[in-house]
Structure 1
Amino acid sequence: MTRSSRLITSGIAVMLIVGVAMAFAIVWRPVIPAIDPPAPYAFDAALIKRGRDLAAIGNCNECHTVRGGKNFAGGLPVPTPFGTIYSSNITPDAETGIGQWSEAAFRRAMRDGVNRKGEHLYPTFPYDHFTHVSDEDDRALYAFLMTRQPVHAPSRENQISFPLNQRPVIAGWKLLFLRRDSYQPDATRSAEWNRGAYLVAGLAHCGACHTPRNALGAERVNAQFAGGDVDNWLAYALNDRSHAPVPWDADALYMYLRSGWHPDHGTARGPMAQVVSNLSSVPDSDVRAIAVYMADISGTPTPDRKQEGEAALAQARSPSQASQTDTAGATIYVGACASCHETSRPLPYGGVNLALSTAVSSPDPRNLANVVLSGVSAVEGERSPIMPGFADSMNDAQMAALLNYLRARFSKQPAWTGVEKTVADARRAVTVYLQTSAGPRNAPADPTQRDKP
């Protein structure tokens, strides 16, 4: 071997060694020693209460509880383009939960997406948002979770194909997309605006649903709050691309987030119903702060946008005449929908005027199909909207005829395409969702602890 060949070989060997060392440094994380599960009385009651509110803002129970299962015991299937991932048990069970996790281990999972054993967590756990959460709030969340009822619930095996089923691969994803920046307040904004920004960017992780994702499953930073997909629902755009007939403002957002309903916008359904259910139990100031921040994100409506909103409100207030452009859809509407949506009946039987419905004006008919199929359940103890589901009384062709009619009559948007297929897909998705989702809609974050610290 010539001298030049030896130099080349040595150089390649050095590059390989450096590459392996760098890869090891990126992938490897140390095990954090196990602890004995702390006694519940070891935590301050006020800290636990604060953690309960933060867990509700984070909607933790929705992803970590299966229908009919124990709170926070995990096992919920989360469908992704890469396969199904099952949520983990975050009760303080020593064997199958986080009972042996120290606060440092918990904080590492929140900030870095790494569990106590040093394994990388899939980003279905939104640590790309939780990196913004303060040490104080992590401490409160830890106190709350470590004082829940321990549940022995072994983790289910994820259904992901090679090589994505190898957790070291996740380290590469983090290298590309995880930014470990804490929230930095904006000195030019109010304390309320900054509180809302902190919650939305962090624990509330609104962008996880309302921002579209790229081919590798990361949020598209250049399209923040432009709308996304979750559980066969369209999470509407929250920025200036919103298709709501009437522009949102802070007061409307506050009422919607607090009660799950607004007369000019409609009712929260699907995954959003659980979000507003959890928000109903948190401090009023936090809900208001989120509303103030999100109203600013959506921006001040342009004169044309304001005029469109005023026209929609005027249409909603004027006497409505049934259209005959779609005889089948019109007949179904008159028989099944008009008595609630056109008679100005008070809650709970009065429905939103469909000229104001974002679902009808949306570019995607999925949400409207989901609502008509599954209906709107009553909220116990509240005067909230209710609506029967029509999954058993309408076939796919009838449902598609109704949706096409609603689109033509109550919106100024172009007709949808492929509505019957959308209905068929929604019917299948609703069935799966009801079988696997986290308990009854509008359940509190932790029914056994609603009134306790």
Structure 2
Amino acid sequence: MMVVRIVLIVLGLVVLGGAAFAAFAWRSEIEPISGETAEFGADLLERGAQLAAVGNCIACHTVPGEKAFAGGLPLPTPFGTIYSTNITPDPETGIGRWSEEAFRRAMREGVDREGRHLYPAFPYDHFTRVTDEDNRALYAYLMTREPVRAEPRQNDLVFPLGFRPLLAGWKFLFLDKGPHQPVAEQSAEWNRGAYLAEGLGHCGACHTPRNALGAADSSRHFGGGEAEGWIAYAINESSPAPIPWNEDSLAFYLRNGWHELHGVSRGPMAEVTGNLGGLPDSDIEAIAIYVASIMGEPSDQRRAEADRLLEEVRSDAAKSGDVVQAVDSVVQPQGSDIHGEGAAIYAAACATCHESDRPLPFGGLDFRLSTAVNAASPQNIVNVTLFGLPPADGEASSVMPGFAGALDDRQVGELLAYMRARFSGREAWDGVEEMVRATRSGDYPVTIRPSDGIERAPTNVGAEY
């Protein structure tokens, strides 16, 4: 009898606990609207378009080559694949029956119109900071896009993460709800930049490391992360850029997608800088002011090293832009026989652009200035070497051929080992050939273990990068 009583008590506690959690996780449905097209003013729509650009909404909610905002893009995560949703105003498969209240709740709380919890691949942990006025403008913009009937694809997540009520627990632990709070001690420009970068811009979604449960690690804010198979570099005081960023260089880069001392944007960041082109200069400058403040002033030592590097690069450029002379100057690093082939490949495939007198954005960056060559992980330079840089649609842009078809895994590995030794002076990368093989084939996950100790599992890299 005692055993039976214990079992009944345990079952009762389980039932009570389950009921309590269900009550905690439950969210009500918000009544659908008629689906008729609402009237919005031109100014509101223009503002909404700018905000959608800041949020880079089209990148995640559009499959390349398909209708804009119709969803269906696979977003690989350590927990499985999530497919983005249709955010066109289609009444059946999109958000056509969502009221502004329902839209605002999704942005602030990560709950859809029907009361289902949304996965934080939709970065509502950042969007919660957006003001009611900006939510209204963004809602107006999306509700006036072309309606597209596109049934959502089923997510493919590890058990039991397909059970959405569990997300209520994640939010309890990690979602800090509430609009952005200005900092009185900072300037209006700084506060504007903080609002854009931390809110709709959700810079930290890529540039901040994540914990085991997929939440941003606030103790390492902007300390570097991973996105779609690319390393999002640290944009705080630990930035690996050989030349420190400042307000002017950040603003130029965000506006144009390149900077003469830092190179061109690529991968997901190319989409970001492309979308930011529609913002007013004041917003671009505000973001630059805020991010530069997070990076802080470089130390005297780092500033001196950067000055020496710049003097060296500019002195070499002044002596000659002759590609033949540049190629003849390629030498094998002292004490190494492994880079002989890497040096030859570099001379044949890279030096023509990267050691010419053609400036960015149409020439190649001097690799001594390259963050990718100086970074702890070679993932980004692997991606670019294999898949190149595609031209932008309808405008002049940087372009680079991919070498996936011309070089095998070993050859790419030797090329990158040579570049690391010649241009960075840093310790050699480990496992480059393995990373090249995995990146080329999509045989993931591969865990990168850079010197900062953060483990990152890159996701598949499409050839469009």
Task: Compute the TM-score of the two structures, normalised by the length of structure 1.
Answer: 0.91
| Alignment counterpart, residue 30 of structure 1, candidates 22, 28, 32 | 28
Q: In the alignment, which residue of structure 2 is the partner of 1:394?
A: 407
Aligned-residue offset at 1:305: 1.2
Q: Which amino acid aligns with 1:130?
A: F
Asked if residue 403 in structure 1 is aligned to residue 416 in structure 2, the reply is yes
Cα distance in 2 for partners of 1:91, 1:424 equals 38
Task: Describe the SS at the equivalent of 1:434.
Answer: coil
Cα distance in 2 for partners of 1:399, 1:176 equals 43
Cα distance in 2 for partners of 1:122, 1:380 equals 31
Task: Describe the SS at the equivalent of 2:226.
Answer: strand
Q: Which amino acid aligns with 1:51?
A: G
Q: In the alignment, which residue of structure 2 is the partner of 1:310?
A: 307
1:145-160 to structure 2, matched below 5 A, reads 145-160=142-157
Task: Describe the SS at the equivalent of 2:462.
Answer: helix
Q: Which amino acid aligns with 2:388?
A: G
Aligned-residue offset at 1:315: 2.9
Q: Which amino acid aligns with 1:186?
A: V
Q: Which amino acid aligns with 2:392?
A: V
Q: In the alignment, which residue of structure 2 is the partner of 1:170?
A: 167
1:237-252 to structure 2, matched below 5 A, reads 237-252=234-249
Q: In the alignment, which residue of structure 2 is the partner of 1:449?
A: none
Counting aligned pairs with the same residue, the percent is 55
Residues 227-236 or 322-331, more deviating: 322-331
Change (3 A) 1:380 1:346: farther
Cα distance in 2 for partners of 1:187, 1:107 equals 26
Q: In the alignment, which residue of structure 2 is the partner of 1:368?
A: 381
Asked if residue 300 in structure 1 is aligned to residue 297 in structure 2, the reply is yes
Aligned-residue offset at 1:162: 1.7
Cα distance in 2 for partners of 1:198, 1:247 equals 24
Task: Describe the SS at the equivalent of 1:186.
Answer: coil
Cα distance in 1 for partners of 2:293, 2:459 equals 37
Q: In the alignment, which residue of structure 2 is the partner of 1:417?
A: 430
Aligned-residue offset at 1:379: 3.2
| Alignment counterpart, residue 68 of structure 2, candidates 62, 65, 71 | 71
Aligned-residue offset at 1:312: 2.1
Unaligned runs of 5+ in 1: 442-453
Cα distance in 2 for partners of 1:318, 1:400 equals 30
Cα distance in 2 for partners of 1:384, 1:281 equals 16
Cα distance in 1 for partners of 2:209, 2:435 equals 20
| Alignment counterpart, residue 323 of structure 1, candidates 306, 331, 340 | 331
Aligned-residue offset at 1:386: 2.2
Task: Compute the TM-score of the two structures, normalised by the length of structure 2.
Answer: 0.88
Q: In the alignment, which residue of structure 2 is the partner of 1:107?
A: 104
Q: In the alignment, which residue of structure 1 is the partner of 2:274?
A: 277
Cα distance in 2 for partners of 1:192, 1:293 equals 8
Residues 410-419 or 380-389, more deviating: 380-389
Q: Which amino acid aligns with 1:374?
A: F
CA RMSD between the two structures: 2.3
Equivalent pairs counted in the alignment come to 433
Q: In the alignment, which residue of structure 2 is the partner of 1:39?
A: 37
Cα distance in 1 for partners of 2:194, 2:116 equals 30
* Contact 1:38/1:146 (8 A) holds in 2: no
Q: In the alignment, which residue of structure 2 is the partner of 1:447?
A: none
Q: For residues 417-441 of structure 1, what are the alpha-carbon distances to aligned partners after superposition, in whole Å with 9 as ceiling and x for unaligned?
A: 1110111122234995437xxxx77
* Contact 1:370/1:426 (8 A) holds in 2: yes
Aligned-residue offset at 1:370: 0.7
Q: In the alignment, which residue of structure 1 is the partner of 2:462?
A: 434
Cα distance in 2 for partners of 1:312, 1:74 equals 45
Q: Which amino acid aligns with 2:330?
A: A
Cα distance in 1 for partners of 2:359, 2:17 equals 68
Higher RCO, 1 or 2 (CA under 8 Å, sep at least 6)? 1
Q: In the alignment, which residue of structure 1 is the partner of 2:250?
A: 253
Residues 97-106 or 22-31, more deviating: 22-31
Change (3 A) 1:221 1:34: same
Q: For residues 183-218 of structure 1, what are the alpha-carbon distances to aligned partners after superposition, in whole Å with 9 as ceiling and x for unaligned?
A: 111111111100000011100000000011011000
| Alignment counterpart, residue 95 of structure 1, candidates 83, 92, 95 | 92
Cα distance in 2 for partners of 1:230, 1:197 equals 21
